[in-house]
């Protein structure tokens, strides 16, 4: 009976060891892909810097307001493992808001022109100027919003017509972000399997000790 238990625990141990090795192999492969993608990204960025100028691609160009365009969802599974998956939820909404903005801009601009031609009488001059000043303030806001839209594509920080190489750098880093979530998941899985393996090993040792004690009797 004791032997079969020992065999069972050995089989379980083997199974976990194989899983552990598989996970490590997969981690190594993904790491290699991640490293090459990052290198590719840097290379493209260097090319962009060469064509745009040395100081045109640096931390100085970061926007004053930054909103994330990607986020990770962390799901904790029953066995304690955490699964990360990336999500780009704001892309649609930013496109929609970009579509909405020009419509908002057109309205107040026309209104402003109409009002400027209208008042020429001395009596209403003061009122008109007050109205104009009070209505110019809300006019300025939507323009500012479109200028400093925090959800804009980070490519625009570096100019409107950026070189293709900077776009390539962006796509490489987007892939790196996807891959880094996978690697984070795998790292946690590796540590989890390692802990299970340790527990199994301890269990096997106690079973062996018990078995040897009964044999000696």
Rounded to whole angstroms, the Cα distance separating 48 from 61 reads: 14
Q: Does position 124 bind other proteins by CB under 8 A? A: no
* Candidate segments 36-44, 97-105, 116-124, 129-137, binder of other proteins by CB under 8 A: 36-44
Residues 6+ apart with CB under 8 A from 49: 56, 57
Q: Is the CB of 34 or the CB of 143 nearer to other proteins? A: 34
Token pair belonging to 90: 């704001």
* Candidate segments 4-12, 27-35, 109-117, 130-138, binder of other proteins by CB under 8 A: 27-35
Q: Are 70 and 177 in contact (CB under 8 A)?
A: yes
Token pair belonging to 207: 């079973």
The mark string for 169-208 relative to other proteins (x by CB under 8 A, - otherwise) is xx-xxx-xx--xx-xx--xx-xx--x--xx--x-------
Q: Does position 35 bind other proteins by CB under 8 A? A: yes
Residues 6+ apart with CB under 8 A from 185: 81, 82, 83, 84
Rounded to whole angstroms, the Cα distance separating 176 from 199 reads: 34
Tokens 């640096």 appear where?
58
Candidates 1, 59, 103, 137; binder of other proteins (CB under 8 A) is 59
The total of other beta-carbon atoms located within 10 Å of residue 171's CB is 13
Residue count at the site for other proteins (CB under 8 A)?
57
Tokens 């796509």 appear where?
171
Query: Cβ of residue 157: shortest distance to other proteins, in angstroms?
Result: 8
Q: Is the CB of 88 or the CB of 210 nearer to other proteins? A: 88
Residues that bind other proteins (CB under 8 A): 20, 24, 28, 31, 34-35, 38-39, 41-42, 45, 57-59, 62, 64-74, 76, 80-82, 84, 87-90, 154-155, 166, 169-170, 172-174, 176-177, 180-181, 183-184, 187-188, 190-191, 194, 197-198, 201
């Amino acid at each position: 009976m004791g032997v079969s238990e020992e065999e069972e625990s050995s089989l379980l141990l083997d199974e976990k060891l194989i899983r552990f090795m598989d996970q490590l192999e997969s981690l190594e492969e993904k790491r290699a892909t991640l490293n090459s993608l990052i290198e590719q990204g840097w290379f493209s960025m260097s090319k962009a810097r060469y064509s745009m100028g040395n100081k045109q691609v640096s931390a100085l160009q970061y926007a004053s307001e930054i909103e994330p365009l990607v986020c990770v969802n962390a799901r904790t599974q029953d066995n304690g493992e955490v699964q990360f998956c990336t999500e780009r939820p704001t892309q649609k909404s930013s496109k929609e808001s970009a579509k909405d903005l020009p419509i908002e801009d057109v309205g107040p601009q026309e209104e402003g022109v109409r009002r400027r031609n209208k008042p020429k009488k001395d009596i209403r001059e003061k009122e008109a100027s007050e109205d104009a000043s009070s209505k110019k303030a809300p006019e300025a806001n939507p323009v500012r919003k479109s200028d400093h839209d925090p959800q804009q594509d980070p490519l625009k920080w570096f100019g409107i017509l950026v070189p293709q190489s900077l776009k390539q750098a962006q796509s490489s880093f987007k892939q790196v972000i996807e891959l880094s979530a996978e690697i984070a998941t795998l790292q946690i899985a590796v540590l989890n399997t390692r802990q299970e393996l340790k527990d199994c090993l301890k269990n096997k040792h106690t079973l062996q000790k018990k078995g040897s004690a009964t044999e000696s009797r």
